[in-house]
Amino acid sequence: MTLAIDGGTPVRTAPMPTVLDASGRTFGAAEAAAATRAIASGALWRVTGTEVAALETEFADYIGASHAVASTSGTAALHLAVAALDVEPGDEIIVPPITDFGTVIAVLACNAVPVFADVDPVTGCLTADSVRACLSERTRAVIPVHLFGGPAPIDDIVALCRPRGIAVIEDCAQAYLTIPSGGASFAGTRGDIGCFSLQQSKHISAGDGGLTVTDNPDFARRMRLFADKGWPRDTGERTHLHFGLNYRMNEMVGAVARVQLTRLADVVAARRAVARRLVAELGALPGLRLPADTRQHSFWLFPILIDLPVGNGDFGKALAAEGITANAGYLDRPVYLTPALTERRTYGTSGFPLTSPPARREFTYAAGDCPVAEKLIGRTLLVLDCNERFTDQDVTDIVTAVRKVHEHYAR
C-alpha cells in the first residue's frame, strides 16, 4: 500500500478533534453560566471575589493536598513554587531537558541556575540516579516533570532529596490524576509542592491559569504572598513583606476552572480508554514501544518510541500525510540548547545568574550535555494527540495509519 507521503491515498482527510478549538474541548453551557455568574457579582478580582478561593479549596480537596494556591498560568505556578523556597542567587535547581521552557523560566526568574539532568530513555523523565549525578553543595531543589502524563519515579527522587534538605517540586502541568508508582495518591502530592496548568491544551482548561498544591503551610503562605506583591491582606496592613509579583487569578478564570474540575475524572478516563485501545491494537508491532501501564498514565499526549530503520522524523511526517497529528521528538531541541541559555540571554547582557559569582562556577550549555534526551528528541520519540473527544472511528484511523506507516518502514 503506497504511503500518502509518496502519493497514495491518505487514511484520513477530515481534521481530528483538537484541543485548539471546541472539537477537542469540553467547554459548554455550565462554563458559560459560571463566567456569567462571576460577571454578575461585580467583583472580577480575587481580592473581594469568591470564585478563586472556592477553586483553591475544591482543588486541594480533589487532589488530596492541604493547601492550593491559584495563579495566572502554569509558568506562574512554577515560579510561586520556586519562590516559596526563598533561594539565593546562584543556587542550583535540577530540571529535565525535555520539558516546556516554563519549567526553566521559574528557575531563572528566582535568580537560580538550571542544572540539566539526563532522563530515562523510555519515559523521558528524570530518575534518582540522574539527579544524584548532578547534586552539589548549591542544590536547593529538583523539578521532576511527569512528562505527557506519565509518572516520574517521584518517590525515589524524594527519598534521595529529603534527607539532604533538597525540595522536590513536581511539574504536573501535563499530569492531572497521574498516579506514580508506590501508592494511590496523585502526582503533585508526593513531593513538597505540585504545580498544575489550566492552559488551553491541558486536560482541563480556563484558557490560562495555574494551581500549586502543598501540605506545608509556610510554603503555602509564601506562595500566596508572592502571587500578590508580598501584600499580607489578611492582616489589614498595606505593606509588602518581601518581593513578589501580581499573579492573581481573576474570578472569571476561577469560575470556569471550577466547572472544568468537575469534568476532570471523565476527561482522564476517556483518554485512558483511547490509550488502552491503542496499546491493545498497536503494542505488538515490532520496533514500536508504547506505554506499559495505562492505569497510572493520564495521557496528555500518547508517546511512542521508534526503533526502526527510519527515525521519528520520517515516521512522523508519513503519519501526518495520512491525516494523523504526530510530533517527532516533542521539542525541536533539548531546553538547554535554546538561545536563552546557549547565548545566556537572561538579564540584559550580564549572563546573570549563570555567572560566577553568584554561581559556584560559570554555567554554559552545549550539545552532548544530556545524550539520552538528545536521542529521544532526534531519533526515537514520537508523540500523538490523545483526546477525550476522539470517537471510535478516530481511534480506528490512528491505528490504521500507524500500521500502514509501520508496515512500509519495517520492511
Give, in order, the Cα–Cα distances in Å from 144 to each of 54, 294, 403. Answer: 28, 20, 33
The answer to whether the CB of 147 falls within 8 A of the CB of 124 is yes
Q: Show the 3-state SS of 28-64.
A: CHHHHHHHHHHHHHCCCCCCCCCHHHHHHHHHHHHHC
- At residue 198, the 3 state secondary structure works out as coil
Dig out the grid coordinates for 302 from the structure: 500518547
Cα(166)–Cα(406) distance, rounded to whole angstroms? 45
Decide: helix, strand or coil at residue 375: helix
Calculate the alpha carbon distances from 344 to 55, 102, 162, 370 in Å: 38, 16, 31, 18
Residue 146 vs residues 97, 152, 154, 171, 300: alpha-carbon distances, Å? 13, 5, 9, 6, 10
DSSP three-state, residue 339: helix
> In the structure grid, which three cell numbers stand for residue 366, read together?
552545549
Q: Report the distance separating Cα 167 and Cα 158, nearest Å.
A: 8
Beta-carbon contacts of 88 under 8 Å, excluding residues fewer than 6 positions away, are 111, 140, 358
Say which of 202, 229, 375, 404 is annotated catalytic.
Answer: 202
Hey, how many other C-beta atoms are within 10 angstroms of the C-beta on 96? 30
229 is catalytic: no
Return the percent helix, strand and coil in the chain, to nearest 5.
40, 15, 50
Task: Quote the cell numbers at residue 64.
Answer: 488530596
**DSSP per residue, 83-146:** HHTTPPTT-EEEE-SSS-THHHHHHHHTT-EEEEPPB-TTT--B-HHHHHTT--TTEEEE--B-
**Where in the sequence numbering do the catalytic residues fall?**
202
